[in-house]
């Protein structure tokens, strides 16, 4: 159903009516066929010519390619070493209620997530197009439990490339992509943490979040 609706939208542009001279009063003009029938005719013609099939094939390929090779997030690379420590504290902006409407967390309550749920796996953000960063992340992951998160590059291509490399008890290396900067934006919105460059490794140190920017040689 959705395919037919989109196909009609795709084909509708040529059917827009244009004003025409109807001649002098008293003369009649032939009545146009129902617009819906015209649209159906156009769909049938494009199906018969293969144009509609090519349109859907091209659309599908673009969607699949966008998933396999997402657009870069625009986070620059900086290999210089520096370390930041952050106390993760989040203040509830309003009362939080359960399904029955009972207040379970009041506005103004300070929440420290690392005390509630410690990190069992760190994160390392890299530009997957940079071979040096890829190898740096792999080496770091052999020393400690990390998830590799890309800000650019193809997680699909890297997974295929390292599919036979064991990783933290798994038979292959999983690569992730921070879709729409969900992780980066959450860190900034909730805790004021800004990931301005990669590589950036996030791990827990006591009750604090440590961010190690750059690459150690």
pLDDT the model gives residue 27 = 56
List, in sequence order, the alpha helices (H) in 13-144. Answer: 35-49, 51-68, 113-116, 131-143
The pLDDT score that the predictor gives to residue 49 is: 82
Other beta carbons less than 10 A from residue 195's beta carbon: 21
Mean pLDDT of 135-153: 95
Model confidence at 199: pLDDT above 80: yes
Compute the half-sphere exposure of residue 27: CA atoms within 13 Å on the CB side of its CA. Answer: 5
Section 103-107 average pLDDT: 89
Tokens of 147: 């998830």
pLDDT value, residue 15 = 36
pLDDT score of 1: 44
| pLDDT of 138 over the 50 cut | yes
Q: What is the pLDDT of residue 16?
A: 39
Tens-digit pLDDT profile for residues 146-173:
999 999 999 999 999 999 988 888 888 9
Least confident among 14-28, 87-101, 179-193: 14-28
* Distance of alpha carbon 178 from the chain centroid: 6
Q: DSSP letter at 108?
A: T
pLDDT at position 78, please?
A: 96
pLDDT greater than 70 at residue 106: yes
Predicted local confidence at residue 34, as pLDDT = 75
The DSSP output letter for 204 is: E
- The H or E element containing residue 183 is helix 182-191
Q: Left (φ > 0), alpha (ψ -120 to 50) or beta: where does 119 sit?
A: beta
Structure tokens that stand for 56 in this block: 């859907």
pLDDT (tens digit, 9 = 90+) per residue, 2-60?
A: 344 333 333 333 333 444 444 555 555 555 567 777 787 777 787 788 776 777 776 66
Percentage, residues of the chain above pLDDT 70: 80
């Amino acid at each position: 159903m959705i395919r037919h609706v989109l196909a009609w939208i795709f084909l509708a542009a040529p059917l827009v009516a244009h004003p025409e001279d109807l001649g002098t009063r008293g003369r009649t003009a032939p009545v146009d066929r129902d617009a819906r029938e015209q649209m159906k005719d156009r769909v049938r013609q494009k199906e018969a010519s293969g144009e509609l099939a090519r349109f859907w094939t091209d659309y599908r390929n673009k969607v699949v390619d966008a998933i396999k090779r997402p657009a870069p997030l625009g986070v620059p690379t900086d290999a210089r070493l520096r370390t930041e420590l952050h106390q993760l504290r989040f203040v509830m902006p309003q009362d939080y209620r359960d399904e029955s409407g009972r207040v379970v967390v009041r506005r103004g309550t300070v929440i420290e997530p690392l005390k509630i749920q410690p990190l069992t796996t760190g994160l390392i953000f890299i530009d997957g197009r940079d071979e040096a960063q890829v190898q740096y992340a792999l080496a770091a992951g052999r020393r400690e439990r990390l998830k590799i998160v890309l800000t650019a590059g193809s997680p699909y291509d890297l997974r295929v490339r390292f599919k036979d490399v064991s990783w933290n008890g798994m038979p292959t290396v999983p690569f992730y992509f921070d879709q729409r900067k969900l992780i980066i934006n959450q860190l900034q919105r909730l805790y004021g943490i800004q990931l301005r460059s990669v590589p950036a490794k996030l791990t827990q140190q006591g009750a604090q979040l440590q961010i190690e920017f750059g690459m150690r040689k």
